[in-house]
Amino acid sequence: MHITNESPIYALSKSDEPVAKVKPGEVYTVDTHDCFGGGIKSERDKYGPQYWGTVNPATGPIYIEGAARGDILAVHIHRISVSDTGVMIVVPKMGAVGDWIRRTETKILDIRDGCVIFGKRRMPISPMIGVIGTAPKGSPVPCGKPGEHGGNMDCKLITAGSTLYLPVNVEGALLSMGDIHAVMGDGEVCVTGVECSGTVELETSILRNTSLPTPIVETDDVIATIASHADLDGAARNALKKMLKLLETRFGMKRNEAAMWMSAFADLRICQVVNPLKTCRMEAPKSALMASGLECRLC
């Protein structure tokens, strides 16, 4: 199945009608817009108020057959392909570096042969998904905001080969995604990575009778708990709390042992500091889990 980006949404909501239905284990593709909805086409175009209400359009929601409230949705990302151009902006007073920016500027960057052309440099791309989530429990959440449902986490581990675990809050889960970056650094400090449209190839599976402190992303190398909060300290604290719970409930560690293990072997990292809520992740290396005699896959 191929799902187009013809009818983007600007908030994740349990009330939205699904654009498609898929079965667990079915491999399908999803087209996405860039974070500006394709509105910035040249370096003469500047970011302004016209984008504030429609930032990060997502494709979806996608109804996952058999997903019931209380389940966990495992999203297996097989491949991310990106367009041949990307967009970056800097704007005074926007982002973590905005206080030092004096003028608005837009850059249109060529992407070819697996690299983004940044000035005279050819930098390798590493495509990732900025916005991906299920329907939240309560009111709609704008696509520019992260939360317990996922959303605009801007976590660069959400890439090809990784599995993202999300809560199922409503029947069918209602999965949506968008805001692809050809490459993005931790923090996304000027508000954008290399923003581009693209296509995601993925499949989903359903975990029943399973307790995980979602959102969690699993790669070949790490298992990371993800958390967001109004400030960075709160986001870090929440990511730590989730990892502590994971180590206790999934891996059988005692509380003090888990705390020491985290401090010795795990890494606390920033995902982004520029969205309405900040996002952190706590990474548990699989090599350290295996060395501790622990199973290192979640599904």
| Alpha-carbon distances of 210 from 71, 143, 147, 165, 172, rounded to whole Å | 7, 27, 20, 11, 17
| Alpha helix positions (H), the chain | 232-249, 255-265, 286-291
Shared-domain flag, residues 128 and 276: no
Report the amino acid identity of residue 109.
L
Share of the chain above pLDDT 90, in %: 92
pLDDT band at 294 (very low <50, low <70, confident <90, very high): confident
Q: Is 44 helix (H, G, I), strand (E, B) or coil?
A: coil
Same domain, 189 and 77: yes
Mean pLDDT of the 1-14 span: 96
Residues 220, 275, single domain; the answer is yes
pLDDT score of 152: 98
CATH of the domain at 184: 2.60.120.580
Indicate if 16 and 164 belong to the same structural domain.
yes
Residues 12, 33 within the same domain: yes
Do residues 71 and 166 both lie within one domain?
yes
| 270 close to 280: Cβ distance less than 8 angstroms | yes
249 and 128 housed in the same domain = no
Q: What is the DSSP letter of 187?
A: B
Mean pLDDT over 134-139 rounds to 96
**221 and 199 together in one domain:** no
Output the six-digit token pair for 64.
């996952």
**Is 293 a residue whose pLDDT tops 90?**
no
Per-residue pLDDT, 119: 87
At 177, the pLDDT band (50, 70, 90 cuts) reads: very high
What distance in Å separates the CA atoms of residue 85 and residue 240, rounded to the nearest whole number?
37
Distance of CA 28 to the CA centre of its chain: 19
What is the value of pTM for the model shown? 0.96
Strands 105-112 and 198-207 come out as: unpaired
Give the domain-ending residue among 151, 175, 207.
207
Q: Is the pLDDT of residue 52 over 80?
A: no
For residues 246 and 185, state if they share a domain.
no
Print the domain residue range for 220.
Answer: 216-291
Task: Give yes or no: residues 75 and 166 share one domain.
Answer: yes
pLDDT in tens, 63-95: 999 999 999 999 999 999 999 999 999 999 999
**Residue 7 in domain:** yes
Q: What is the pLDDT of residues 31-44, one digit of tens each?
A: 999 999 999 999 99
Amino acid at 195: E
- Residue 124 pLDDT greater than 90, yes or no: yes
Q: State how many domains the chain has.
A: 2
Neighbouring residues of 297: CB distance < 8 A, sequence distance ≥ 6: 218
